[in-house]
């Protein structure tokens, strides 16, 4: 029997959150449907109703952490300034904070990236997600170019550079939170981004 309609989304979300905890604790190699069911406090039959196998549940975990990152960035930007500089700096800090405040979320990214190297479908999913991120960041860069705040450059190429910087520092914070504090990391990442985008002096 299928779960009741009102219960289904909540139960599915609880299963995905349990998967994130399992990935953070045991990695993808240690992830089993049995462990997820136990962590989520559901039967394996219920688990298989929502997810066919551990690969599909890994994709759901990635979608969940990506959506959470989107919400954090949007919330932070709604509280900050509206010009392109402020929006980019807010995005950078929100990503870095996630690496420290929700370390399990970045571990999901790492586990997904490891698996996608051997799975074409996962690489396609990752490519779509990164394309969307580059377009979102690129739109902010283009806003800054139009406003005369940034030099003229390809917004998508600039977005790729910014995303690479944020990913790299976020991973360092995930691996070693004692390396530097988030405000310090946000400051030097922000400085690097602004220097890269700065208008050329005649």
CB of 174 closer than 8 Å to CB of 103 = yes
> What does the chain look like in DSSP terms, one character per residue?
-PPPTTTHHHHHHHHHHHHHHHHHHHTTTT--HHHHHHHHT--HHHHHHH-SSHHHHHHHHHHHHHHHHHHHHHHHHHHS--SHHHHHHHHHHHHHHHHHHTHHHHHHHHHHHHHHTT-HHHHHHHHHHHHHHHHHHHHHHHHHHHTTSB-S--HHHHHHHHHHHHHHHHHHHHH-TTSS-HHHHHHHHHHHHHHHHBPPP-
Of 69, 53, 55, 68, whose CA–CA distance to 13 is shortest? 68
At residue 1 the predicted structure's pLDDT band, cuts being 50, 70 and 90, is very low
Q: pTM of the full predicted structure?
A: 0.86
At residue 6 the predicted structure's pLDDT band, cuts being 50, 70 and 90, is low
Task: Return the CA Rg of the chain.
Answer: 19
CB of 62 closer than 8 Å to CB of 125 = yes
Segment 102-110 mean pLDDT: 91
**143: its two tokens:** 């806003």
**Percent of the residues in the chain that have a pLDDT greater than 70, as a whole number:** 95
Q: What is the pLDDT of residue 4?
A: 58
Q: How many CB atoms lie within 10 A of CB 75?
A: 12
- The CATH superfamily holding the domain 1-51 is Homeodomain-like (1.10.10.60)
Q: What is the pLDDT of residue 60?
A: 96
Q: Which of the four CATH numbers 3.40.30.10, 1.10.357.10, 3.40.50.1000, 2.70.150.10 does domain 62-197 have?
A: 1.10.357.10
**Tokens 């779960």 -> residue:** 3
Model confidence pLDDT, tens digit, residues 65-86: 999 988 888 888 888 778 999 9
Question: Domain coordinates of the chain in residue numbers?
Answer: 1-51, 62-197
Q: What is the pLDDT of residue 3?
A: 55
- Say which range, 5-9, 23-27, 148-152, 192-196, has the weakest mean pLDDT: 5-9
Segment 7-36 mean pLDDT: 92
Q: What is the pLDDT of residue 7?
A: 67
């Amino acid at each position: 029997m299928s779960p009741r309609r009102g219960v289904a989304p909540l139960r599915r979300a609880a299963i995905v959150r349990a998967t994130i905890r399992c990935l953070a604790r045991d990695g993808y190699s240690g992830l089993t449907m049995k462990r997820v069911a136990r962590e989520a406090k559901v039967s394996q039959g219920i688990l298989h109703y929502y997810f066919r196998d551990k690969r599909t549940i890994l994709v759901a975990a990635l979608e969940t952490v990506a959506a959470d990152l989107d919400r954090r960035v949007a919330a932070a930007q709604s509280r900050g300034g509206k010009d392109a500089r402020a929006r980019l700096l807010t995005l950078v800090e929100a990503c870095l904070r996630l690496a420290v405040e929700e370390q399990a979320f970045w571990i999901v990214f790492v586990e997904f990236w490891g698996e996608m190297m051997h799975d074409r479908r996962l690489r396609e999913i990752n490519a779509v997600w990164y394309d969307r991120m580059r377009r979102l960041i690129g739109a902010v860069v283009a806003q800054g170019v139009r406003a005369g705040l940034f030099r003229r450059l390809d917004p998508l190429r600039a977005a790729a550079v910014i995303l690479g910087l944020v990913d790299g520092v976020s991973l360092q914070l995930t691996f070693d939170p004692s390396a530097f504090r988030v405000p310090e990391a946000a400051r030097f990442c922000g400085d690097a981004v602004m220097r890269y985008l700065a208008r050329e002096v005649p």
